[in-house]
């Protein structure tokens, strides 16, 4: 379980900027300590525990980058064509036990090991073949079309630093180095609740002024995309004592407990009070829109019979509206999740695009606007704001391509201004 203390975030102010929040997470939250070795084929999405070094050169030997003829550059005539005797043939995978003699060439194929004495390869379409002789033109640079041993990775170099989240490209590199297993941190265990008497389970009878719960489905999909083990614990009623018991029980079995709804200042928002009974709610507002009422803290675990209780679980309380849930997940929960999993922080790099709308905002707050991209009349890509701003408008996520990010020091945006675009893929990458 996550080993966290009540003061692990240790923030005394009522409102955090995103930068302050990320700094607290980086310095005060420790990754889960447990590790395991997994087969390379099942390692996608896992987080490396230590630096991985190359056990051999990649490529492991000098080889040809093209189909053609391997020659010794010193044998070539600098002033004209050179005719060489073809003395052998090398295919990829064959032993390179053919030595190149003076004024000789060897027929070679892509990936084949360079024969001893050869240092340059002519492409087959650039030469003239006549019987057992090949004529090559002047002007080819020494070493052309030759791939050197270790030019991709020299033996002993760190190829993947600790904290790498393994994706297909990383796994391909490890396989090329002959690595079949990798040590990774165990998967994080996350518990998800929705709160509120107004939400009911999809597929059940919807009575009165209730709505179907979409937040747990959204959060489950987001967490699964990031490789965590998710436990959906359903919907909690607005009853403080029951909330506290359910959260403490979840903390005994999980590294992170997530709720949606119930963390604002309303009289019926009981999550804050429940967490303060069984742990420490360190902050509950972040300078972000949508999603300011987002809480983070620590929950003490209920006792377990199988072994001594651990310190508890990290806690995040998200807003109740689904768009705010998505934004706070990618900008607040994800950095915490990466830190708990031992992954290196992932910096977001917004791409500049042209805004095609007017927008006003408060300074001191990071704001995210849902936009679709289109090509303007002049051919340049521009961002079009979704016509509905409400944080309960789920179609504002399905009918857009990502978010425009407006930093804290920006107060207004006019058509033609540049703004940073974050695609949904980049936000979850």
Q: Could you read off the pLDDT of 385-396 as tens digits, one per residue?
A: 999 999 999 999
Domain membership flag for residue 191: yes
In terms of domains, do 225 and 290 share one?
yes
Domain final position from 138, 164, 185 = 185
Domain membership flag for residue 245: yes
Domain membership flag for residue 11: no
In terms of domains, do 170 and 108 share one?
no
Which tops the pLDDT comparison, 298 or 71? 71
- What is the pLDDT averaged over residues 151-172? 97
Domain membership flag for residue 3: no
In terms of domains, do 320 and 230 share one?
yes
pLDDT above 70 (res 86): yes
Q: Which CATH number do you get for residue 45? A: 3.90.105.10
In terms of domains, do 362 and 253 share one?
no
pLDDT above 60 (res 323): yes
pLDDT above 60 (res 328): yes
**For 425, phi and psi rounded to 5 degrees?**
-65, -40
In terms of domains, do 301 and 282 share one?
yes
In terms of domains, do 291 and 389 share one?
no
**Helix then strand then coil, % of the chain, to nearest 5:** 20, 30, 50
In terms of domains, do 25 and 97 share one?
no
Q: Which CATH number do you get for residue 377? A: 2.40.340.10
pLDDT above 80 (res 335): yes
- What is the pLDDT averaged over residues 31-36? 95
In terms of domains, do 309 and 257 share one?
yes
In terms of domains, do 193 and 169 share one?
no
Is this model's pTM higher than 0.75 or not? yes
In terms of domains, do 218 and 268 share one?
yes
CA distances to 33, 56, 252, 310, 382 from 306, rounded to whole Å, are 19, 45, 11, 12, 57
Q: What is the domain extent for residue 172?
A: 37-54+155-185
Domain final position from 299, 321, 340 = 340
Domain membership flag for residue 4: no
In terms of domains, do 174 and 191 share one?
no
Domain membership flag for residue 10: no
What are 243-256's pLDDT values in tens digits? Answer: 889 999 999 999 99
DSSP assignment of 74-95: GGS-TTS-EEEEEEEEE-TTS-
Q: Is 262 left (phi over 0), alpha (psi -120 to 50) or beta?
A: left
CB proximity list for 30: less than 8 A, separation 6 or greater: 2, 3, 4, 8
In terms of domains, do 304 and 202 share one?
yes
What are 257-273's pLDDT values in tens digits? Answer: 999 986 665 544 678 88
Asked if 107 contacts 90 with a C-beta cutoff of 8 angstroms, the reply is yes
Domain final position from 118, 147, 176 = 147
Q: Which CATH number do you get for residue 265? A: 3.40.980.10
Q: Which CATH number do you get for residue 134? A: 2.170.190.11
What are 188-203's pLDDT values in tens digits? Answer: 999 999 988 888 999 9
| Total tally of structural domains belonging to the chain | 4
* Alpha carbon distance 21, 11 (integer Å): 9
Domain membership flag for residue 288: yes
Domain membership flag for residue 325: yes
Question: What element of type H or E holds 426?
Answer: helix 424-428
What are 338-359's pLDDT values in tens digits? Answer: 999 999 988 899 999 999 999 9
């Amino acid at each position: 379980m996550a080993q966290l203390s009540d003061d692990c975030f240790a923030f005394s102010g009522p409102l955090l900027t995103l930068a302050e929040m990320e700094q607290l997470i980086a310095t005060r939250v420790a990754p889960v300590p447990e590790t395991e070795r997994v087969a390379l084929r099942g390692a996608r999405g896992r987080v490396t525990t230590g630096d991985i070094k190359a056990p051999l050169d990649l490529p492991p030997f000098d080889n040809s980058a093209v189909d053609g003829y391997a020659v010794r550059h010193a044998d070539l005539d600098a002033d004209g064509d050179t005719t060489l005797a073809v003395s052998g043939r090398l295919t990829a995978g064959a032993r390179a036990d053919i030595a190149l003699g003076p004024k000789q060439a060897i027929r070679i194929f892509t990936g084949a090991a360079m024969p001893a004495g050869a240092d340059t390869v002519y492409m087959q379409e650039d030469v003239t073949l006549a019987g057992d002789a090949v004529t090559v033109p002047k002007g080819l640079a020494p070493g052309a079309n030759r791939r050197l041993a270790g030019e991709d990775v020299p033996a002993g170099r760190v190829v993947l630093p600790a904290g790498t989240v393994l994706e297909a490209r990383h796994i391909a590199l490890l396989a090329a180095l002959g690595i079949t297993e990798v040590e990774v941190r165990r998967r994080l265990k996350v518990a998800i609740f929705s709160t509120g008497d107004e939400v009911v389970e999809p597929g059940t009878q919807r009575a009165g002024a209730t709505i179907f719960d979409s937040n747990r489905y959204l959060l489950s999909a987001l967490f699964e995309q990031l490789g965590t083990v998710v436990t959906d614990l359903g919907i909690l009623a607005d009853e403080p004592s029951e909330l506290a018991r359910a959260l403490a029980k979840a903390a005994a079995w999980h590294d992170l407990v997530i709720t949606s709804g119930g963390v604002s200042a309303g009289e019926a928002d009981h999550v804050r009070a429940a967490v303060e009974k069984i742990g420490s709610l360190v902050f509950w507002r972040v300078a972000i829109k949508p999603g300011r009422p987002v809480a983070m803290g620590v929950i003490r675990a209920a006792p377990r019979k199988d072994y001594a209780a651990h310190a508890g679980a990290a806690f995040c309380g998200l807003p109740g509206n689904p768009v705010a849930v998505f934004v706070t997940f990618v900008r607040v929960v994800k950095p915490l999740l990466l830190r708990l999993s031992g992954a290196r922080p992932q910096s977001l790099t917004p791409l500049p695009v042209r805004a095609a709308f007017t927008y006003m905002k408060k300074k001191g707050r990071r704001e995210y606007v849902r936009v679709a991209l289109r090509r303007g009349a002049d051919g340049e890509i521009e961002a079009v704001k979704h016509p509905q701003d409400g944080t309960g408008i789920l179609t504002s996520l399905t009918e857009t391509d990502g978010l425009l990010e407006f930093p804290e020091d920006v107060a207004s945006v006019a058509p033609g201004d540049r703004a940073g675009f974050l695609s949904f893929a980049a936000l979850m990458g």
